Amino acid sequence: MTGASREAFDRRVDSALGDPVLQEVISSGQDYMQALQEQAKAELDWPAWLDAVEAVRSHTIAHLDFYAAQFADNVERLGGRVCFAADAAEAREYVAALVKRKGAKLVVKSKSMVSEEIGLNRALEEAGAEVVETDLGELIVQLAGERPFHIVAPAAHKSLAQIRDLFSTMAGEELAADAGVLTTFARHVLREKFLTADIGISGCNFGVAATGTVVLVTNEGNGRMTTTLPQTHVVVMGVERLVPDLQSLEPILAVLPWAGAGERITAYVTAITGPRRPGDGDGPEELHVVLVDNGRSSILGSKYEKILHCIRCGACLDACPVYRKIGGHAYDCAYPGPIGAVLSPLLDGLERHPELPFASSLCGACSEVCSARIPLADYLLELRADAVAAGGGSASWTAGFRGFAEATRRPRAWALGERVAKVALRPFERHGSVRWGPGLLGLWTRSRDFPPWARRSFRELWRSRRPSGS
């Protein structure tokens, strides 16, 4: 875990920790969300609902081939087109080709994490279209040229003043630093975009296999705009985002809004079943669904399969004490936080994100709050084991743990090691503690005192107390 990747990671961490405004924004956001989630747990039989979510998700993933086929059949039967994208490139190419074929000048997007994962915006811009994010959070990070900071609240890190500046640049005039004023400005600008866009691209919270329905869970209404006004609607979704049927949505809709936004239900849940039909007064003429694999099928059947159960609620980010310090950008991937620390190495390869599995104290807060009961902390441990098995461990750690393991089997050698360490540490002890030390110890003492080695170890004390031993 050294080299350029680690250095870049450390720089991102330092930049987050060095920003007191950001620190305050992240922790107050977490405090707020956690309080609301506690309210949910008081109101609902939370464990029972999580059991239900888990039952639906594990069943769907176990039969994903069936449900993907059924979903695709139904979308096509209703007059939609389905693209089966094996990887990011195939998904980008399909949508870019559509943009070119339609001669589309303007594409409006509602929130889609998969589009961030596959780098869709750039491909569409290269195909000649202006791409406008319409979720306010996504718009803010688009204007700032950044990645989403949080999977539910993409601009959670931006202060009012920063957003005012971004919107003022867009407006060409100075706007007031008032959330209401800025929201109204965005409404007017984006309304124009919705009315003139050629293509609307949305994500998909859940696809209902039995009916071919695309379900969007949103608050702002941009999801409805994107899927109502432009003549062509493109859905970009991970292939695992399916449920068997409408009833299966019940537990998910009970849990997701609480876990993700701290509310009973979002302002809008939209269920789209096919394109506009003859006689319909509005709605898109064309519907395209891009089912994205991009590494998901290789997770199926592996020890990491439950990561595909994720419902993207973001509760793990709101609970994580590491995220609380380093924020979403330190992860440098489409999916930040604990879910991203597991999912990104699985989708992009461990070599692309070597530090992510190690950027955790393994406290288990993520596993504890997960709406889909994904053992995130255990998965981080598995990824660490995979990294070591793939030869990713440093030579000194590898040798160190080899020696450690040998010593654990030899209590006398272990005790001797303790005595050696005691003697070695002594020169660094001052007034009953160690304030500076070399090597690994130095990484500790940089910010913390280290306790003095005991004059006599417990095993030595025990022997003198009971000469016969036990």
Partner 1 sequence: MNRAAFLARLRRPPGADQRGVPVAPRPRVQRPPLGDAQRLSLFAARLKALGVVVEESATLDAARLAVERLCDARGWARIACAPSLRWPGIRDRWVEDARDAQFGLSAAACGVAGTGTVVLRHGGAARRGYSLLPPVTGFFVYRPDIVDSLGDVLRTLAAETTALPPCITFVSGPSNTADIAGVRCVGVHGPGEVFVWVIACGE
Partner 2 sequence: MSVRASLMVTCLGDALFPRVGVAAVRVLEALGVRVDFPRAQTCCGQPAFNSGYRDDARRAARAYLRAFAGSEHVVSISGSCAAMVRDKYPALFEGRPEAHEARALAARTFELSEFLVDVLRVDDLPVTRHARATLHHSCHTRRTLGVVEQPERLLGMVEGLQYVPLPRAQDCCGFGGTFAVTMPVISTAMVDEKVDHILGTGADLVVGLDMSCLMNIEGRLRRRGSALEVRHLAEVLAQGWAR
Residues 274 to 333: which contact partner 2 by CB under 8 A? 321-322, 324-326
Stretch that binds partner 2, among 85-93, 110-118, 206-214, 433-441 (CB under 8 A): 433-441
Query: What is the closest distance, in whole angstroms, from the C-beta atom of residue 155 to partner 2 in the complex?
Result: 23
Stretch that binds partner 2, among 98-106, 254-262, 286-294, 400-408 (CB under 8 A): 400-408
The yes or no reply on residue 12 touching partner 2 (CB under 8 A) is no
CA distance 49 to 120: 35
The yes or no reply on residue 399 touching partner 2 (CB under 8 A) is no
Cβ-based nearer residue to partner 2, 8 or 443: 443
Total residues in contact with partner 2, by rule CB under 8 A: 70
The yes or no reply on residue 75 touching partner 2 (CB under 8 A) is no
The yes or no reply on residue 40 touching partner 2 (CB under 8 A) is no
The yes or no reply on residue 159 touching partner 2 (CB under 8 A) is no
With helix as H, strand as E and coil as C, how does 222-263 read?
A: HHHHHHHCCCEEEEEEECCCEECCHHHHHHHHHHHHHHHHCC
Give the C-alpha distances (Å, rounded to integers) separating 337 from 10, 150, 303. Answer: 16, 8, 20
Cβ-based nearer residue to partner 2, 297 or 457: 457
Tokens describing residue 378: 């255990």
Tokens describing residue 422: 């005691």
Judged by CB under 8 A, the residue of 89, 397, 430, 438 near partner 2 is 397
* 53-64 residues labelled b (16+ CB within 10 A) or e (exposed): bbebbbebbeeb
The yes or no reply on residue 405 touching partner 2 (CB under 8 A) is yes
CA distance 208 to 249: 8
Query: What is the closest distance, in whole angstroms, from the C-beta atom of residue 1 to partner 2 in the complex?
Result: 7
Q: Which does 360 bind (CB under 5 to 8 A by kind): partner 1, partner 2, none?
A: partner 2
The yes or no reply on residue 422 touching partner 2 (CB under 8 A) is yes
Cβ-based nearer residue to partner 1, 169 or 408: 169
What's the full length of the chain, in residues? 470
Q: Which does 10 bind (CB under 5 to 8 A by kind): partner 2, partner 1, none?
A: partner 2
Q: Which does 144 bind (CB under 5 to 8 A by kind): partner 2, partner 1, none?
A: none
Cβ-based nearer residue to partner 1, 195 or 424: 195
Closest CA to 106 of 80, 92, 125: 125
The yes or no reply on residue 426 touching partner 2 (CB under 8 A) is no
Query: What is the closest distance, in whole angstroms, from the C-beta atom of residue 198 to partner 1 in the complex?
Result: 17
Residue 10, phi-psi category: left (phi > 0), alpha (psi -120 to 50), beta (remainder): alpha
Query: What is the closest distance, in whole angstroms, from the C-beta atom of residue 394 to partner 2 in the complex?
Result: 10
Sheet holding 106-109, edge to edge: 81-85, 286-292, 232-238, 199-202, 106-109, 130-133
**Residue 201, φ and ψ in degrees, nearest 5:** -115, 125
Stretch that binds partner 2, among 176-184, 240-248, 279-287, 405-413 (CB under 8 A): 405-413
Cβ-based nearer residue to partner 1, 208 or 359: 208
Judged by CB under 8 A, the residue of 145, 278, 279, 469 near partner 2 is 469
Judged by CB under 8 A, the residue of 161, 267, 421, 423 near partner 2 is 421
Cβ-based nearer residue to partner 1, 163 or 365: 163
Q: Work out the end-to-end distance of the chain between its first and last CA atoms, rounded to an integer number of angstroms.
A: 43
Cβ-based nearer residue to partner 2, 77 or 419: 419
Query: What is the closest distance, in whole angstroms, from the C-beta atom of residue 264 to partner 2 in the complex?
Result: 24
Cβ-based nearer residue to partner 1, 327 or 357: 327
Residues making contact with partner 2 (CB under 8 A): 1, 10, 13-14, 17, 27, 321-322, 324-326, 358-365, 367-368, 381, 383-389, 392-393, 397-398, 401-402, 404-409, 411, 414, 418, 421-422, 433, 435, 440, 443-444, 446-454, 456-463, 469-470
